[in-house]
Structure 1
Amino acid sequence: MDRVVLHATAGAGGNGCASVHREKFKPLGGPDGGNGGRGGSVVLVVDPGVHTLLDFHHRPHATARNGKSGQGGFRAGSGAEDLELRVPDGTVVFDQRGTIVADLVGAGTRFVAAEGGRGGLGNAALASPARKAPGFALLGEPGESRDLVLELRSMADVGLVGFPSAGKSSLVAALSAARPKIADYPFTTLVPQLGVVSIGGEDGVVYTIADVPGLIPGAAEGRGLGLDFLRHIERCSVLVHVVDCATYEPGRDPISDVQALEDELARYIPALGGALAERPRLIALNKIDVPDAAELAELVTPELKERFGWPVFPISTATRAGLRELSFAMGEQVRAHRAAQPGAEPTRVVLRPRAVDDAGFTIEPDPQLPGGFIIRGTRPERWIRQTPFDNDEAVGYLGDRLARLGVEEALAEAGAEPGCPVTIGDITFDWEPSTPAGVAVALSRRGTDRRLAQSTRVSAAERKAAKLERRRHRTDEELAAEVEQADGEPR
């Protein structure tokens, strides 16, 4: 199994806690709600001990655990552990649009398939001089959910290409300890088979060869097992054309077979980059243990060298004739390719500071609501997801955050009018300009916001000021002025 669909769902963050400390002989204990824990992420990790994607075929859904909610007494919720999924070396990850998002090569390479949600802040973390005892806490952020396509592309040095039943599996079995299935019918090999070849003793080279499904004309357009075959030779540094010299099919000969294989390779465009036409080639004329095949191989060898310019090796996997020369030639090509590769550079830390003119959000007209606007941005959308809209004070806190970010000023510059619909994430609300951010706002009972429900009731401070004004001693001139103002006639 070398191609599967993975449904990855990360864990949601835990909710924050809204709590006030209550203890005997300790009045005004203040908020003590803890923060929620972070949700677990779904992470793909390359494991050299894994060689297939079969586990994902049987269990395509991967769901990480959620974070725990915060509690009173400043107790934060515990974060969930990441769900690590082991994948083979050479796994390529695609998104739903077919774009490569990760190429997992090398033991220990990690890729976050779905990011866990952040935990919500408790009211202890939300306390400020203007809001000393918040009556709300933020919700945990939902975990990311993604559908990804995993493809396994063999990490082999040498790729064997050829028509079905050309003897590729027999060649792998003769050169290495691999034992692929061998039969006398086409498309015996349905999945890639890897073998390890060691030549030259201590100073020699060790390389891997891949026996992949057979190739037929039209494979680049998806005929037969062509795409399954071509996918696995993208990483190979050397390609070996295995030609059946003992076939009795009409219209086939070694020269036309090699040309047909080259035509299919030219039509296929590797997704990982690089052209297959630039890879070194070798030609192996197989089955020379058959007398007619040996005569044909001797006849076409000069023409193959003249036409393609590649080394040609008559071989027989049954009698092992010519295998030593072929294995050494493949080893030399692999050695030369490895020497030409640039040395591995240490991982560099890349810092990407935010631009000075980057506000962190964008405003665009709403195509569905006349006069409306849509606000897009990582922080505004995250704040919307974390706000409990059944709490008026939490909605007021959201308004303060958006104002501090500059959303209200940007809406005014974009021509927004009070009452116009504004959409952020999944929430659409009528925009009403609020007080400037940072101004201390007198709150009523906990969990409410006076800006959302204005009251005409006279406050205690106003009543006290009026009482002091009434009791203040007035001079004769002030009393006369008050009587004159009340009667409307001068005295």
Structure 2
Amino acid sequence: MQDNFIDHVKINVSSGKGGAGSSHLRREKYIPKGGPDGGDGGRGGHVIVRGNDQLWTLFHLRYTRHLHAENGKPGGKQRSTGADGEDVYIEVPLGTVVKDENGEQIFEITENQQEKILLKGGRGGLGNWHFRSATNQTPRYAQPGENGEEMSVIFELKVLADVGLVGFPNAGKSTLLSVITAAKPKIADYQFTTLTPNLGIVEYRNHQSFVMADIPGIIEGAAEGKGLGHRFLRHIERNAVLLLLISADAEDYAKEYEILITELKNYNPELLDKERVLAISKSDMLDDELKEEITKKLPKDVPHVFISSVAQQNLNQLKDLLWNKIKSES
């Protein structure tokens, strides 16, 4: 398991308070009764979320509990405005969804250097210069700065990839990823070997490439939160194409396919609108006759391919299928 893959953090954030306006009165040697010249206070610092395509996880925020932007500085004499409080920037990987503590989405970050103000700093107070009038030529009061805002915010990462690998535990997803990409996922023959999404770059023809994510294994009932449930299904939402993997040693191919589709539908029906490719893994143990028999049981509306990651059979054919689906989606 990649202990440094963190896809969910909660942080208390607060923007800065605005600086107070100044109630200064001019005092000069030959002007004993100078007028008001108090300046405005500076605004409090904002809390800003910024996308960073060099980040793949929220690990850097794992131990952050509180973030506070700086308060604005008070206004001064001679109508000088106080300095603004320093903004706080929270860098997040692309595909991060920002929610309030009730789970309501505020916004999402999908582009590098994209910036969204999460909390605005309080406005600075007006200095007494603004309050002079014909009847009150020397106002001795000024506005206090506005308070900043505070909230608990949830950052949730949904992996951005071109292809999402979906299948039961032991279907051979990690093995496939390790063979056709540079990723090095842990591989063993027990349920939920993959506890975090693994990302890999698949090299394609003419120096082109696409990103594949191995999503942790689905089991029947994942949409209701069984097994590893919701936490991992959300990563599938961001994939352009779904590659469904069923092992050649499955007892009932049609049933396994239907269970996978049902889980996706129960979690989010829109997932069924995505392009799909079906791969039968570990197919080096099948002869042509068996492949023909299996083909009769597979869905007619989804392209399929028999592959073997270990024997490296039909992997280029699989890449071609996926590439065509990705291009049709873009």
For the superposition of Structure 1 and Structure 2, which TM-score range results when normalised by the shorter chain? Answer: over 0.9
2:191 equivalent to 1:186: yes
Runs of 4+ in 1 over 4 A off after TM superposition: 292-298
Alpha-carbon distance in structure 2 between the residues aligned to 1:279 and 1:261: 14
Partner residue of 2:218 out of 215, 218, 241: 215
Paired residue for 2:200? Answer: 195
Whose radius of gyration is greater, 1 or 2?
1
Alpha-carbon distance in structure 2 between the residues aligned to 1:53 and 1:229: 15
Paired residue for 2:3? Answer: none
**1:25-76 CA-partner distances (Å, limit 9, x unpaired):** 2122111212111110110000001111112221031111111112223232
Question: Shift in Å at residue 96 of structure 1?
Answer: 2.6
Alpha-carbon distance in structure 2 between the residues aligned to 1:169 and 1:337: 25
2:254 equivalent to 1:255: yes
Paired residue for 2:328? Answer: 336
2:291 equivalent to 1:286: no
Partner residue of 1:62 out of 54, 67, 73: 67
**1:378-436 CA-partner distances (Å, limit 9, x unpaired):** xxxxxxxxxxxxxxxxxxxxxxxxxxxxxxxxxxxxxxxxxxxxxxxxxxxxxxxxxxx
Partner residue of 1:25 out of 27, 30, 53: 30
Partner residue of 2:146 out of 141, 144, 164: 141
Alpha-carbon distance in structure 1 between the residues aligned to 2:22 and 2:205: 68
Paired residue for 2:101? Answer: 96
Question: Shift in Å at residue 99 of structure 1?
Answer: 2.0
**1:218-270 CA-partner distances (Å, limit 9, x unpaired):** 111111112122101112221111112235xxxx4322211110111111127
| 1:129 aligned partner, one-letter code | A
Answer yes or no: is the 8 Å Cα contact 2:253–2:297 preserved in 1.
no
Please state which structure has a larger fraction of its residues in helix: 1
| 1:281 aligned partner, one-letter code | R
| 1:135 aligned partner, one-letter code | R
Return closer, same or farther for 1:293/1:217 CA change in 2, 3 Å cut-off. farther
| 2:293 aligned partner, one-letter code | L
Length, aligned pairs only? 325
Question: Shift in Å at residue 302 of structure 1?
Answer: 2.5
Question: Shift in Å at residue 298 of structure 1?
Answer: 4.6
Stretches of structure 1 lacking an aligned partner (at least 5 in a row): 339-491
Answer yes or no: is the 8 Å Cα contact 1:37–1:69 preserved in 2.
yes
Partner residue of 2:318 out of 311, 326, 332: 326
Paired residue for 1:129? Answer: 134
Paired residue for 1:237? Answer: 240
**1:331-387 CA-partner distances (Å, limit 9, x unpaired):** 01101111xxxxxxxxxxxxxxxxxxxxxxxxxxxxxxxxxxxxxxxxxxxxxxxxx
Answer yes or no: is the 8 Å Cα contact 1:245–1:293 preserved in 2.
no
Paired residue for 2:307? Answer: 315
Alpha carbon RMSD of aligned pairs, Å?
A: 1.8
Q: TM-score, normalised by structure 2?
A: 0.93
Question: Shift in Å at residue 130 of structure 1?
Answer: 2.9
Alpha-carbon distance in structure 2 between the residues aligned to 1:57 and 1:130: 58
Return closer, same or farther for 1:225/1:286 CA change in 2, 3 Å cut-off. same
| 2:260 aligned partner, one-letter code | L
**1:128-179 CA-partner distances (Å, limit 9, x unpaired):** 2232111111101111112121111111111110011211111111111111
2:86 equivalent to 1:73: no
| 2:134 aligned partner, one-letter code | P
Stretches of structure 2 lacking an aligned partner (at least 5 in a row): 1-5
Alpha-carbon distance in structure 1 between the residues aligned to 2:297 and 2:168: 20
Where 1:135 maps in the other structure, the secondary structure is coil
Return closer, same or farther for 1:293/1:34 CA change in 2, 3 Å cut-off. farther
Alpha-carbon distance in structure 2 between the residues aligned to 1:37 and 1:296: 75
Partner residue of 1:52 out of 48, 57, 61: 57
Alpha-carbon distance in structure 2 between the residues aligned to 1:95 and 1:294: 55
Answer yes or no: is the 8 Å Cα contact 2:195–2:216 preserved in 1.
yes
Answer yes or no: is the 8 Å Cα contact 1:245–1:297 preserved in 2.
no
Question: Shift in Å at residue 206 of structure 1?
Answer: 2.6
Answer yes or no: is the 8 Å Cα contact 1:42–1:114 preserved in 2.
yes
Alpha-carbon distance in structure 1 between the residues aligned to 2:112 and 2:118: 17
Alpha-carbon distance in structure 2 between the residues aligned to 1:91 and 1:115: 20
| 1:258 aligned partner, one-letter code | Y
Structure with larger RCO (C-alpha < 8 A, sep 6+): 2
Alpha-carbon distance in structure 1 between the residues aligned to 2:328 and 2:322: 10
Where 1:58 maps in the other structure, the secondary structure is coil
Paired residue for 2:272? Answer: 277
Partner residue of 1:206 out of 180, 205, 209: 209
Return closer, same or farther for 1:264/1:308 CA change in 2, 3 Å cut-off. farther
Moved more, 47-56 or 182-191: 182-191
Answer yes or no: is the 8 Å Cα contact 2:202–2:211 preserved in 1.
yes
Partner residue of 1:163 out of 163, 168, 171: 168
Where 2:319 maps in the other structure, the secondary structure is helix
| Identical-pair percentage | 40
Q: TM-score, normalised by structure 1?
A: 0.64
Partner residue of 2:20 out of 5, 12, 15: 15
Alpha-carbon distance in structure 2 between the residues aligned to 1:46 and 1:128: 48
